[in-house]
Chains A and B, each alone.
Chain A
Amino acid sequence: MSDTLHKKSFFRKYLFSTDHKVIGMQYTITGLFMAAVGGFLAYVFRYNLAYPGDHIPLFGELGAQQYNSFVTCHGMIMVFWVAMPILLAGFGNFLIPTMIGTDDMAFPILNMMSFWIFLLSTIVLLASFFVPGGAFGGGWTMYPPLSAGGYTNPNPDFFKAFFSGASLMILAVALEFVAMLMGGINFLVTTINKRTKGMTPFRIPLVVWFINIATIIFMFSVGPLVAGAVMLLFDITVGTGFYDPARGGDPVLFQHLFWFFGHPEVYVLLLPAVGAIGEILSVFSRKPLFAYKTIIYLALLSAILSVVVWAHHQFVAGIDPRMATFFSVGTIIISIPFAGIFLSYMATLWGGSIRFTVPMMWALGFIGTFLVGGLTGLFLGSNAFDIYAHDTYFVVAHFHYTLFPVVFFGFFAAFYFWFPKFVGKNLNPALGKIHFWCTTVFFNGTFFLLFFNGLGGQHRRINDFSLFSNVVKEPYITFEKIATISAICLILSQFIFLYNFVTSAVRGKKAVKNPWDANTIEWVADSPPPHGNFNPYPEVFRGPYDYSLPGEESDFIPQNVPHTNENIPVLKVKLSVS
C-alpha cells in the first residue's frame, strides 16, 4: 500500500530514508552488527583468560597490549554502539511515533542525519583498530594520565597523536553523542508536540515515558563529559596538561566529569528496557500495570538522584571521606525508586492470568537476572565493601548482571513482542523459547561463578593468571574455564536468534494487526505500518492498560475505543475501591 502512495527509489526508501521505522531498523541492525563485534572480542579475551597463551581458534595469539585493547573496546562497543543505538535510538524511533499515534518524528531530516553520523562514529571506532599501536587499551573509562600516554611527550606531533587509538576513540564517542543528541531532541519534541488527539500525558504508554526520561538524563549529563573529553583530546594531541599533576592539572577532575555522565548513563540504558518490560508484563498478565502513575514519578525521582551519586566510582581514587559517605548514602537511596518500580511489576503479575509467550519469558527472565545485579550493587554501594571488591571480578560479574539483562533481555523481549508489528511476519515461537533458555543458562554460567572469583580477590585487569599462581588457585581456575565455555555457548546460542530473525522475515507467516490482544495504539496500525503509520489517525479515549475490566466482555479495550455510557460508572466504582 505504501508503495502506491509514495513511489520512491531504493536509495530514498531504504538508505537515505527519513521514515522513523527505517531509521529505527538501521540503528537496530548496526547495533546488532556491533554486538557481534563486541561478542567476538569477548570470545577472544575470555578464551585467553581460561587458556592463557594458547592459540585461539579463529583468531591466533593474543598479546598483553591487544588484550587491553580488546577488553576496552568490548566495553565501549557494548555500551555506546550496542546498548545506545538499540535501546535508545532503536526503541525510540520505532515506538514513539507509533505509540503516540503520529506519522513520523518532528524533524525527519535531522533524524536521518542522526543515523548517518552514528554510522560515521562506528566507522571511526572500527578504524581505530588499524592505526599504529592498535585500538585504545586504557580501559573504557579513559582515565588520564594513562589515556594521555602518561604525559611522557610534552610536545606531541599533532597528526601522529590524532591518529592514535585514544584520540580516535574520543572522536568516535563524540560523534556518537552528536547522533544521540539529534535523535534525543527529536524524541522529546515529537512526544511533546505530535501526540494524536486524546493522548494526554497520563495516557502515554510507560515505555514512551521512560525513553523520554532517559533522553533527558542523557542530555543533562553528556555536556560535562564532552567538556572533559575535549580537554583530554587537547592533552593528547596538542600537549596541554589539564590532567597532568606535574603541571598543576588534576587527573581526578576527569574522573568526576566522566562519572557525572557515566553513572546516569546506566539509567539511560535501563529505563527504555524497563519500560518495554512493563508493557509486556501488563499485556501478558492481562492486568493493568500496577501503579502506572507512581512508576512514572519513581522514574523521575531516580532520574534526579542519578546525577548526584557519581563519585561512588571513585571511592578508591582518594576523595574526601565525608564526600564518600554522602555518595554511599545517595547510591543506596537510589535503589529505593527502582525497588518501587520492581514491586509494581510484581504486583502487576500478582493474580494475573499469565500467558507464557516468548516475550513474556524474556520479561520474566529480565526480572530474575536483573535482581541479582541490583542486589550485588547494594553491596558495592557501601564504600567499606567497595574498597575490598574494587577492580575484582565481583565488579565484573555485578555490572554484567545489570547490563546484560538490560541490553539483551530487554532487547529480546521487545524484539519478540514488536517483531510481528514492525516486520509484519510471525516469528517461530519454539525457536524463540530455545533461544531464551540457552541464553539464560549460558549467561548465568558465564557470570555467576565470577562473583566467587572476585570475592577470592581475583583482579580484573590481568591477562595471564598463570603468572600469579600463588594468588590464583583452584577452584578459581576451573571457574574461569567454566565461564569461558559458557560464554562461547552464549555466543553460539545467538545464531538461533539470527536464524529465526532471517527466516521469519523472509518466509514467516503474515502477522495480524494485534496478535497479542494489546491496548496501545501501535497495534491499531497495519502490520507493518505503512509510510505515515495510520490512516485515519486514531483518537485516544482511555489509558493504555485497560485489561480485564470488570463488567466488560473483552479482556482488553484498545486506547482508541470510546467509553460507552455503561462502562463509565463501572470504571468510577473501580477507581474509588482501589
Chain B
Amino acid sequence: MEMVLQNPVREQKAVSDGIIGMIFLLATEAMFFAGLISAYIVNRAGIPVWPPVGQPRLPIEVTAVNTAILIASAVAIFLFRKNIIANFNKGNKSLKLLVTTILLGGTFLAIQGTEWVRLIGYGLTTTSSLYGSFFYVIIGVHAVHVVAGLAILFYLFKAIKNSATLEIAKNKITVCSMYWYFVVGIWPILYMLVYLM
C-alpha cells in the first residue's frame, strides 16, 4: 500500500528560497571583493609612485568601451526578464534578449583577454611588480565570476527551453539575473579603483 506524506503546513513564503539563498551568496561574494579591494587600497597607500616606474599604463579607453558593453548586457537581461514575464512564449524575441546578454558578456571577456595578451607583451606580468600582481588577481577574479555568470545564463537558457509554463521558470529567471547584476554591478567599482585611480 502506498502511503502519502501529508504536505507540510507552512507559513506563507514572502520571498522564494532561491532569492534568499542568492542574497546570502552575493553578500558573501561582496565581502570577498571588499577584502581584495581593501588589500589593494592599503598597499597602494604605502607606495609613492603608482604605477611603478617602467610599468605600462592600463588601457583606460578600450576598457571604458568594454564597461559600456558589460552594462549593456545588464540592460539586455533586464528587458529579457520584463518581456518574458509579460509574455511567456518559448523561442519568442525575449529569448533573443537572453542570447544578447550572453553574447555581450562573451564580448567583454574576449576584449579583456586580448588586452591581457597585449599587456603581457608590454612587460606587465603577475610578478613584474605589485601593480601587475594586483591587476591580474583582482581583474582575473572578476573574469572568473563573468565565466561563472555566463555558465549560469546558459543553464537558464536551457531551463527555459525545457519549462512548459512561466511559473516553473520565473523563479530561476529572477535568481540567475541577480547573479548577473552582481557581476556587472561590481565591475565599474573595480574599473574606477584599478584603472582610473
Expressed in whole angstroms, the minimum distance between the Cβ of A207 and any Cβ of chain B is 20
Per DSSP, chain B at the interface is helix
Expressed in whole angstroms, the minimum distance between the Cβ of A255 and any Cβ of chain B is 12
Residues on the A chain within 8 Å of B31, using CB: 219-224
Residues on the B chain within 8 Å of A107, using CB: 17, 21
Determine if B13 and A532 form an interchain contact, defined as CB atoms under 8 angstroms apart.
no
CA distance A103 to B141 in the complex (A): 38
Expressed in whole angstroms, the minimum distance between the Cβ of A121 and any Cβ of chain B is 17
Among B32-40, B76-84, B176-184, the stretch that binds chain A is B32-40
Question: Is B162 on the interface with A (CB-CB < 8 A)?
Answer: no
CA distance A236 to B182 in the complex (A): 30
Question: Is B8 on the interface with A (CB-CB < 8 A)?
Answer: yes
Determine if A106 and B36 form an interchain contact, defined as CB atoms under 8 angstroms apart.
no
Question: Is A181 on the interface with B (CB-CB < 8 A)?
Answer: yes
Fill in one digit per residue for A242-266: 1 if any B CB lies within 8 Å of its CB, else 0: 1000011110010011001000000
Q: How large is the interface on B (under 10, 10 to 19, 20 to 34, 35 or more residues)?
A: 35 or more
Determine if B36 and A103 form an interchain contact, defined as CB atoms under 8 angstroms apart.
no
Determine if B20 and A189 form an interchain contact, defined as CB atoms under 8 angstroms apart.
yes
Question: Is A445 on the interface with B (CB-CB < 8 A)?
Answer: no
Among B61-69, B96-104, B126-134, the stretch that binds chain A is B126-134
Residues 81 to 105 of chain A near chain B (Cβ within 8 Å): 101-103
The closest CB in chain B to the CB of A101 belongs to B8
Residues 1 to 54 of chain B near chain A (Cβ within 8 Å): 3, 5-6, 8-11, 13, 15-17, 20-21, 24-25, 27-36, 38-39, 42-43, 46-47, 52
Interface size on A, residues (CB 8 A): 54
Residues 207 to 248 of chain A near chain B (Cβ within 8 Å): 219-228, 230-231, 234, 238-242, 247-248
Determine if B9 and A539 form an interchain contact, defined as CB atoms under 8 angstroms apart.
yes
Expressed in whole angstroms, the minimum distance between the Cβ of B5 and any Cβ of chain A is 5
Residues on the A chain within 8 Å of B29, using CB: 223
Given contacts A238-B127, A248-B47, contact A197 B10 (CB under 8 A): yes
Determine if B9 and A197 form an interchain contact, defined as CB atoms under 8 angstroms apart.
yes
Determine if B21 and A189 form an interchain contact, defined as CB atoms under 8 angstroms apart.
yes
Question: Is B137 on the interface with A (CB-CB < 8 A)?
Answer: yes
Given contacts A222-B28, A250-B42, A537-B8, 6 further A-B contacts (CB under 8 A): A106-B17, A184-B24, A188-B21, A219-B31, A227-B32, A257-B35
Chain B residues proximal to chain A, CB less than 8 Å: 3, 5-6, 8-11, 13, 15-17, 20-21, 24-25, 27-36, 38-39, 42-43, 46-47, 52, 126-127, 129-130, 133-134, 137, 141
Chain A residues proximal to chain B, CB less than 8 Å: 4-5, 101-103, 106-107, 154-155, 181, 184-186, 188-189, 192-197, 199, 219-228, 230-231, 234, 238-242, 247-250, 253, 256-257, 260, 532, 534-537, 539
22 residue pairs A–B, Cβ–Cβ below 8 Å? A103-B5, A106-B17, A107-B17, A154-B127, A185-B24, A188-B20, A196-B10, A219-B28, A219-B31, A224-B38, A226-B35, A227-B36, A227-B39, A230-B141, A234-B133, A239-B126, A240-B126, A240-B130, A240-B137, A248-B47, A250-B46, A535-B6
Nearest first, the 7 closest Cβ-Cβ pairs linking A and B are A224-B35, A223-B31, A227-B35, A223-B32, A240-B133, A197-B9, A227-B36
